[in-house]
Structure formats: C-alpha cells, structure tokens
A and B are shown apart, each in its own frame.
Chain A
Amino acid sequence: MNLKPETIHKIDTLVPRYPTMRSAALPLCHLVQEDQGYLSHEAIEWIAARLELQPINIQELVTFYPMLRTEPTGEYHVRVCRTLPCALAGAYQTCRSFEEAFDCKVGHTSADGKVTLEFVECHADCGKAPVVMVGETEYTDIDAEKAAEMAAKMKTGELPTGLEA
C-alpha cells in the first residue's frame, strides 16, 4: 500500500482515540478511499491488518455502506439526489440533462472517463432542491438548464472536481 504520509499520520492519530480498534474501521475506509480514490482488495486487506481484523470484517462494510467504492470514479463524481423533495423540484429532469450532456446513463461512468453519474438518496438540503454534489462540493437549486451549464464547465475543466480540499 502506497498511502500518503499525511493519511498514515491521520490514521495513527485517530485509531488510539477510540475505545476499541474496530470502531476506527469506517473512518479508515474513508481515509484510505480519499487517499486512493477507491477501496481495492489490497486496501481492504491493509485496513483489516492495521486494525487486527480479518479482511471480511472490512469487506462487509464496503458492501453495506453506499459511499464506499471498489472502483475509481471518473474525473468528476456527480451525485444527483432523487428523493421525493428533490424529485418534486425536477431532479429527474436534472439527471436527464447530465445524461444527455455526457452520453452516459445514470449509475455509470462515461466512456471517456470524464464523469461518473449517480443517483443518491436525500442529502438533507431539501429547501434548495434539486441538490447535486460534484466531488465533495454541494450545488443547490440545480434545474435541467443549470445542469447543462455545469456539464459544459466540466467538459472544459472549468468546474472544480470538488476533491481539491
């Protein structure tokens, strides 16, 4: 495993704060995923070993929690909320706009690797629906038209990937 020194440092600080080592499993999944972009078999085994667990103990988390990924995303990771309040505000049309712009069905990564487009469940900002996330940055009130503008900016690379922090 080739983790960045700052990731290792974060992990080493975090683990002893918990009453049990296993409690740090989900946080470590996050940290390693942020470092690597996704959780490979090697990463899962590494986390398990670091916490003195079996790989299955981490694997079962990866298959349970929707935010944990076993494959890298495209350059842009676009998450469109589709839950009722966003849907009432037109989220499905928002998503269709992204699908058309990237010629990519929701749930997939575009052929050129530019974007991974996903539906997600309620992101708790329903007063400004529809809600869209790009990387870790949230955009609100995104109707189909604004989605098309965002897509255009992603194609030119103008829009931040939301992973810079």
Chain B
Amino acid sequence: MALQQTRLIFKHIDEPGYTNDIDCYMQHGGYEQLKRAVTMKPEDICADVLTSGVRGRGGAGFPAGMKWKFLDRKSGKPIYLVCNADESEPGTFKDRQIIHKDPHQLIEGMICSAFAIQAKLAFIYIRGEFFEGYRILERAIEEAREKNFLGDNILGSGYSCDIIVHRGAGAYICGEETGLIESLEGFRANPRIKPPYFPAALGAYQCPTIVNNVETLCNVKHVIDMGGEAFSKIGTPGNTGTRIWCVSGHVQKPGYYEFACSELTLGQLIYDVCGGLKPGRQLKAVIPGGSSSKILRADERFTGKLKDGSEFDWGIEDIPMDFDSLMAVGSMSGSGGVIVMDDTTDMVEALANINYFYAHESCGQCTPCREGVPWMRKVTQRMVDGEAREEDAELLKSIADQIAGRTICAFGEAASWPVQSFIAKFKDEFVEKAREQAARRKEGKEAALETTLI
C-alpha cells in the first residue's frame, strides 16, 4: 500500500521545473497571502494562528499562537521576530529543504508573521554550515525587496520591515531560543536564566521577541491562506497541520515525507513509505524525534491513557505519528527526525556516538551539564574501547539523573534522555558488553571489537 503524502509546506519542493527564484514562486501563487495579510488587521492574523492550533515545529511543540499572545505590547519597546533556522538536531533535515528549494515561502511566512506581531525588524538565524542556504536566502531577500514585499512601506500598507540573515558558527546550543538571542546579540550562546520563560516578554536587546522555527513560520502563510478554522481541521485536535518526518538510518528509502499529523503510524512510515529495512534485517529501535528524544525498542508494548482519556495498547508500529501519541509512549515527536536502527546496531556504540555529540555541544554554563555530559561520553567511550564494567549501566544512569532538571536550559534533558532511555531499554546489552569483553580477555584475545559507530 502506497500512502499518499499531504504536501502543504513541501507542495512544490522537488516538483520538476520548480526553481527557488521569485518568478517561479509567484507563478505558483506566491506572495498572494502577503498581499492579503497586509490588508487584514494584525490582531486578526494572530487570532487565526491561535485558532489554527499550529504547534512549534522546532522541537518543543508549543502552540505558536499562544507564544505570540505572550508578547509584551505594553512596554512600547520595539518587537523583533527571529526565525530559528539553526537546524542542528541530529536526524533533522527539513528546514534545509525549505531554505534551499523554496526560500520565498519562508520569507512570505516571515513577513506575514512580522506584520501580525508588528515587528520592527526580523532576523533569520541560519546555522553557519549552510553556506549555500545563506547565499540563497540573501538573494531571495533582495528579490523580495525589489518587489516591495519587504523593506519600507510594504505594498503601500504603511508597514515596514527588513530581514537580516545572521549566520551561526557551528554551535548546537544556538537552537535554544535564548542561546540564539545571546548569539544574535554578539555573545557566547549561553542560554538565559528563566524566568522570564519566554523571549516574548524580554528577548533580543531586552525587547519583546518571538522566535519561531522555519517550518512554523511557513505554516503561518497557509493559516492565512485557508483560515485558522480550516487549518485546524488538518490532523487531529491538538495535533493540527502537517508534519515533515525526516527519516534516516537503516531504511531502504531515507528522506523527508510530509503527512497530516496522526495520518500514519510509525510502522507505515518505516515499511510503506520508506520501503522497510534492508533485506534480512529486523527492526531493533527507533529514535522518533531527533537524537534528544527517548529511544523506542522494537519489541516494546506501549500502554496507557491519552490526553482525551482513551486507553491505548500499541506495539512500536502502531504508534500514530503526532505530538501527543509520541509523548504518551514516553518519547516525543521533537523536530521530526526519525532515526531507524536495525538488528546490526550495537546500542553501546550508538549511545557512545550520541554522548560524543552532547559532550561536544554543551555550552559549559551549568556545572551538571558541563561536567556530567563529558563524563557520560568518557564512560561509553571506555566501554567500547574494551574496558566495560558490568556496573557501567547504573553509573551512566546515575550521572544522567543528576543532570536533567538541574540546568538553565533543556540541553540538560536533551543530553540525559538518550542515556536514561538506552539504559532503561537496552541495559542487558550494556551488561553483556562487559561480560563479552571479560570472556575475550580470558581467552587472551583483544577485549574490544572494531567499532563502526564511534
């Protein structure tokens, strides 16, 4: 059974003949929503975004309309809009497609959003490694400026707004919105102490600021197009709109696939959409929402109650792909990065690989994270190097438990969740690793085997 995608954000992406210049975009109906938006009342657009129920696509899944509602409009300070294009969550590659192949959709979504919140200036914080994406956006902005879609007095509306493309320089923590703001202001990207919980109260330059993900801002254009009410009908209540699932790892056809929220299950995504696993292989585990999300074991049974009170009893393949279902099984849909692992995967090596990433990316501000995450890396590295101990699983868990909840930003959780979930679900493999090595040592052989993932 071939499942049909519901392409909203990716409607034209990879369509034969579709190019990323403004003429092509306008021939396909581009900037019509902006033309309409500037004739609307800004507060009506905000209300529509709230009605649409659209949740943030960057990872946390916070309702965008609610975030906008938190804006401090009484202070009289200028408002800033920042597009978070720092796409760095391992396993996620959707924003790259939008930036490279349909940059004007993002720009239109941004100007519509900027008008709605009456922003004075907008930024696109793009990760430094996107060299080509940066050049594409710079060109697209100039094209849009020539047509008066941004700049002074946009389409005669009296509203003016510019977009500055600001490049990061290789730090994952810049995806955290307050770290991003620090970076934008010219500092190290150390996330800010909360409260205030939202930059909407106090953000860039000590002014109210909205930070939204690339895909979220694109959604705003579609909310204006179809109206908040109609948009909220896509997907299920509380999980509205589409999601772009980025599938990587051990599947036949890795790639990005857009479906309405809840439209398909994890099993359908892996087997029907991505062509299943390589011949002869069995599914072992899935990380469903970027490397920070908790891992799911292929033979687990997931039972519990959903938000609406209904009970569920799912195998891994039955899990509906949406925000709430993945949360209900103890993980999250995060940024939509689905990493699939088959039975050839050594889970200790996989965790060693993930720990290396977080140890490299900790900003170093909070002690539990700065010290704890490199310790977790050292332990898993020692394990794959041939010095695994049976008690290492417990040791790893105890370190992770002392990081989560004790840091300024959610990076502490992001680095701990993989360790906690790998140990909870694959502890036997961690213990076995030590036993195998001891046995090999006894036979006079090299304790460590050659590694492939670290």
A interface vs B, CB < 8 Å? Answer: 17-20, 22-27, 29-30, 51, 57, 60-61, 64-68, 82-85, 87-90, 92-93, 120-129, 133, 136-138, 165
Q: Are the CB atoms of B254 and A67 closer together than 8 Å?
A: no
Find the residue from B132, B164, B168, B361 having the highest chain A CB count within 10 A. B164
Is B183's beta carbon under 8 Å from chain A?
A: yes
Query: Known: A20-B205, A121-B357. Is A65-B170 also a contact (CB below 8 A)?
Result: yes
Query: Known: A22-B185, A83-B353, A85-B339. Is A126-B246 also a contact (CB below 8 A)?
Result: yes
Report the minimal beta-carbon distance from A161 to chain B, rounded to whole angstroms: 13
Chain B, residues 248-266, CB within 8 Å of chain A (1/0): the string is 1110001110000000000
Q: In the complex, which residue of chain A has the Cβ closest to the Cβ of B78?
A: A19
A60 to B182, CA, bound (A): 13
Q: In the complex, which residue of chain B has the Cβ closest to the Cβ of A23?
A: B186
- Chain A residue numbers with a CB within 8 Å of B255 are 127
A90 to B183, CA, bound (A): 33
- Chain A residue numbers with a CB within 8 Å of B357 are 83-84, 121-122
Q: Are the CB atoms of A87 and B452 closer together than 8 Å?
A: yes
Complex interface residues of chain B between 93 and 122 (CB less than 8 A to chain A) = 93, 95-96, 121
B interface vs A, CB < 8 Å? Answer: 87-93, 95-96, 121, 127-132, 135, 162, 164, 166-172, 183-189, 204-205, 246-250, 254-256, 287, 291, 337, 339, 341, 345, 350, 353-354, 356-357, 360-361, 363, 451-454
Query: Known: A83-B353, A126-B248. Is A65-B168 also a contact (CB below 8 A)?
Result: yes
Q: Are the CB atoms of B205 and A84 closer together than 8 Å?
A: no
- Chain B residue numbers with a CB within 8 Å of A84 are 90-91, 249, 287, 291, 339, 350, 353-354, 357, 453
Beyond the given A125-B93, A126-B246, please list 16 additional residue pairs across the A-B interface where CB-CB is below 8 A.
Answer: A17-B162, A65-B128, A65-B168, A67-B128, A84-B249, A84-B287, A84-B339, A85-B248, A87-B452, A88-B345, A88-B453, A120-B129, A122-B90, A122-B91, A124-B130, A136-B132
Q: In the complex, which residue of chain A has the Cβ closest to the Cβ of B127?
A: A124
The 13 sampled A-B contact pairs (Cβ below 8 Å) are A26-B166, A27-B167, A65-B171, A84-B91, A84-B453, A88-B250, A88-B339, A88-B345, A123-B129, A124-B87, A126-B91, A127-B254, A129-B254
Find the residue from A30, A123, A127 having the highest chain B CB count within 10 A. A127
Q: Are the CB atoms of B95 and A124 closer together than 8 Å?
A: yes
Report the minimal beta-carbon distance from B174 to chain A, rounded to whole angstroms: 9
Q: Are the CB atoms of B167 and A92 closer together than 8 Å?
A: no
Report the minimal beta-carbon distance from A46 to chain B, rounded to whole angstroms: 16
Q: In the complex, which residue of chain A has the Cβ closest to the Cβ of B188?
A: A64
Q: In the complex, which residue of chain B has the Cβ closest to the Cβ of A84?
A: B353
Q: Are the CB atoms of B170 and A24 closer together than 8 Å?
A: no
Report the minimal beta-carbon distance from B88 to chain A, rounded to whole angstroms: 6
Report the minimal beta-carbon distance from B106 to chain A, rounded to whole angstroms: 15
- Chain A residue numbers with a CB within 8 Å of B170 are 65-67, 120-121
- Chain B residue numbers with a CB within 8 Å of A22 are 185-187
Q: Are the CB atoms of A18 and B452 closer together than 8 Å?
A: no
A23 to B128, CA, bound (A): 16
- Chain A residue numbers with a CB within 8 Å of B130 are 124
Query: Known: A17-B164, A83-B353, A90-B452. Is A121-B127 also a contact (CB below 8 A)?
Result: no
- Chain A residue numbers with a CB within 8 Å of B168 are 26, 65
- Chain B residue numbers with a CB within 8 Å of A66 are 169-171
Q: In the complex, which residue of chain B has the Cβ closest to the Cβ of A64?
A: B188
A126 to B335, CA, bound (A): 13
Q: Are the CB atoms of B254 and A124 closer together than 8 Å?
A: no
Q: Are the CB atoms of B451 and A124 closer together than 8 Å?
A: no
Q: Are the CB atoms of B186 and A88 closer together than 8 Å?
A: no
A64 to B364, CA, bound (A): 10
Q: Are the CB atoms of B169 and A30 closer together than 8 Å?
A: yes
Find the residue from B90, B187, B350, B363 having the highest chain A CB count within 10 A. B90
Query: Known: A84-B357, A120-B170. Is A127-B247 also a contact (CB below 8 A)?
Result: yes
Q: Are the CB atoms of A125 and B96 closer together than 8 Å?
A: yes
Q: In the complex, which residue of chain B has the Cβ closest to the Cβ of A85?
A: B248
- Chain B residue numbers with a CB within 8 Å of A25 are 186
Report the minimal beta-carbon distance from A123 to chain B, rounded to whole angstroms: 5
> Which 10 pairs, one residue from A and one from B, show the smallest C-beta to C-beta distance?
A65-B169, A22-B186, A25-B186, A66-B170, A126-B248, A85-B248, A136-B131, A67-B170, A67-B169, A122-B90
Report the minimal beta-carbon distance from B57 to chain A, rounded to whole angstroms: 14
